[in-house]
């Protein structure tokens, strides 16, 4: 059994699993808790775009060096 936590806004006892305080409605947990979901589509798109950009940049730099 998890112990209750206190709401930051009103001090009411709240379950740590709750999304918001039942008394005042203040969010209990922040939207970002430090964990990255590797299967999140936005994360996959960002990583893929970064990899493509880095590979493209490497080819561009290589072509600039070769054509000199």
One digit per residue, pLDDT tens: the chain, 68 residues?
578 988 989 989 998 888 899 999 998 876 566 677 767 788 889 889 999 999 999 999 999 988 77
Cα torsion 58, 62, 65, 68: sign: negative
Residue identified by tokens 């589509």 is: 41
How far apart (Å, rounded) are the C-alpha atoms in residues 22 and 28? 10
What does each C-alpha distance from 1 to 15, 17, 38 come to in angstroms? 10, 11, 29
């Amino acid at each position: 059994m998890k112990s209750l936590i206190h709401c930051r806004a009103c001090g009411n006892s709240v379950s740590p699993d709750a999304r918001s305080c039942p008394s005042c409605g203040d969010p209990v947990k922040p939207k970002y808790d430090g964990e990255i979901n590797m299967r999140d589509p936005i994360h996959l798109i960002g990583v893929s775009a970064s990899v493509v950009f880095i590979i493209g940049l490497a080819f561009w730099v290589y072509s600039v060096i070769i054509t000199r």
